[in-house]
Structures are given as structure tokens and as C-alpha cells.
Amino acid sequence: MSKTVIITGASGGIGSATSILFAEKGWNVVMNYYRSGEAAKLLASSLASRGYSVFPIYADVSDRSHVERMIYEAERRYGKIDALVNNAGISQQKLFTDITDSDFQKMFDVNLKGPFLCSQCVLPGMIHQKSGKIVNVSSVWGVTGGSCEVHYSASKAGLIGMTKALAKEVAPSGIQVNCIAPGIIETPMNNNLTPDELSAFVDEIPLGRMGEASEVAELIYFLCSESSDYITGQVISQDGGIAI
């Protein structure tokens, strides 16, 4: 019987690469999207045309009613959820003194409340089946902090704390919770940076290049596979050496 994964933010750079990899590995893939509906449906259609089992679904991960409906529809369609990838996220570059209450709230609503709601809503099923994997996508800036990204860094640091605490709480139920902290990855999220800014960032990376979304997807898949059954509460930095 095929396993099922829910991937939030499934149409973004990391999300789409992860959706493709899980589909190719034979998983049922529940592809969550919010603003990028057209991209999500195009990707889902492409994967379905190749014979893969995919289910695109609209949901605002910061809204409990949306999340509850998403989990309900996924379980109704596939029976049980084996893995949750909390990948949906937003970023913003802004001087700390210019961050508004609205900026701060929105950042935490998506980057931290979203994973909280999705994890809380999927856990009853995982606890019942005594198995499950949750992978949270944080950021290198959640580990080191990023100038002009204080609210983003704080939200991603909070996700790391949630990972460690939740991993301890649900370990007796056979559930593993882990976190990855990607560095600078070649995704559309970096489109707001100029070539000079990107070059300056790359100069700071010991491995001398940006990461690829497919590399992040491979790590996420590993953490959702049986190969990671004895790994929980960990934060894996996939950043080319920035945080060394």
C-alpha cells in the first residue's frame, strides 16, 4: 500500500521539487497551495499524466478551519497520513525599526502558526497508527540570525524550538519530528535579490555555490523514510557550510 505525504507550499521551489520526488518514489502526494494555485495545478496535472497519485488542495495554513478541511480530505482520500512536510513559508527583508505589527504577525502566522496547526491536526491519526514523520523546513537564518530579516529569523528559530519539544512529546507514539535549515537555495524566493547581492551571498558559502531545491528534497525524503526511524528532534543544516 502506498504511503501518503502532505506537503505545504507544494508549488514553490523546494515544495515542487519535493512533490516530484515523493511522487516518483511512489507516494500519494497531497499538494497544498494557497496563492500559487495555477502553478500547483499545472505541476499536479503533469505528475498525474505520468501516472502518479497527486491531490492538489487549496488551504491557508494559518487558518485552522482550512487546515482541518485539508487533513480531512487527505484522510478521506487516502486513509491515513504517513508524513507531513511543513514547507510553506514567507520571507521579507526589512530594517528592524521598519517592521510593522502586521509584518510581524503575518510572518509568524505562516512560518510558525502554520506548522503548529498542520502538525496538531495531523497528529491524532499518526498517534492512532503509532507511526508518522513530521519534517519542518526552517532556515539557516533561524540558526544564525539574518540582518534585516529579524522577524523571519525569529519565526524560523521558533520552528526549531517547536521541533525539538514536539519530538520529545510524540516519540513514545512512534513519531519522528525533525527540522532542516536550508541555506541559500536556488528558488524563486531569491528573485528579489540583485545579481550582485546573490554573488555576495555565494562568496560567503564555503562550498562556493547555492544549493539546489532537489538536494533539499532528497533530505526531506530521507527524513520521511524508514531510514530515519531512529532520528528525531534534530536540526540538519543544509547550507553549504555557512553555519559552521
Phi/psi of residue 5, each to 5°? -125, 140
Task: Determine the Cα angle at 226 with ends 216 and 138, to 5°.
Answer: 30
Q: Indicate if 34 belongs to the active site.
A: no
149 closest CA partner among 213, 87, 199, 90: 90
Q: Measured between alpha carbons, how far is 126 from 101 in angstroms, rounded to an integer?
A: 36
For the chain, the first-to-last Cα distance in angstroms comes to 41
Phi/psi of residue 130, each to 5°? 60, 35
Classify 30 as helix, strand or coil: strand
Catalytic residue among 33, 52, 152, 221: 152
Contact 107, 151 (CB under 8 A): yes
Helices (H), 3-96: 13-24, 37-49, 64-78
Residues annotated as part of the active site: 152
